[in-house]
Structure 1
């Protein structure tokens, strides 16, 4: 953990802290008084470390799922955008161009949100 909250395994150093991880750090400070015997302290530390690891994995799965959802949204929007191929500059209903522009905007928003989810991993 950071800030003297305990030790973290080397594989966890690159994993960002989650709200649950921060809570675990606070719990560790409260539940781990110095007078605990070594066996009890090791058991508590092990349990808190396992819980922290599970919470980090759960959060990583949620973020990856979010990125996949954005990918699916982009794929659906691209199917609507394929209608652009059948349009010409002589289109009488000019609002169709605004609708296509909005599809591009929505694709960009989903791409940004998907990228943000992946960066948080």
Structure 2
């Protein structure tokens, strides 16, 4: 988008106004994406806390446990914690990318500049 703005036939004031608007938009979009990702991470944290609560039963299990399904259930809880933590870690890494103003690649997406020109464009 910046390349399109730089190549546009706009006077200095108009170009600066568009750049400023574009920068504000990027800032708001960065904040929106970061907030959404952090909300998801907090949800994952709550999920892990709930799973840890279910694992508290592990303290009462002994080596003489006769119900062997208990061990399978506990193993599944640990696996779910692992998956949940992996999702949360990926989201936190994405927040870092967003905050660094890097745009993650989106396959097949091409931005086509419009034919719109503001009233302050040269010759208009």
Task: Tell me which interval the TM-score lies in, with the shorter structure as reference length.
Answer: 0.7 to 0.9
Matching residue within 1, 22, 28 for 1:54: 28
CA distance in 1, matches of 2:89, 2:41: 7
Secondary structure of the corresponding residue to residue 35 of structure 1: coil
Secondary structure of the corresponding residue to residue 36 of structure 1: coil
Q: Does 1:80 align with 2:54?
A: yes
Q: CA deviation at 1:34?
A: 3.4
Q: Which has the larger radius of gyration?
A: 2
CA distance in 2, matches of 1:103, 1:71: 14
Structure 2 gaps of 5+ residues are 96-124
TM-score (norm 2): 0.70
Q: CA deviation at 1:109?
A: 0.9
Counterpart of 1:113? 87
Secondary structure of the corresponding residue to residue 91 of structure 1: coil
RMSD: 1.4
Secondary structure of the corresponding residue to residue 120 of structure 1: helix
Q: CA deviation at 1:31?
A: 5.3
* Count of matched residue pairs: 95
CA distance in 2, matches of 1:91, 1:103: 18
CA distance in 2, matches of 1:82, 1:111: 18
CA distance in 2, matches of 1:69, 1:34: 44
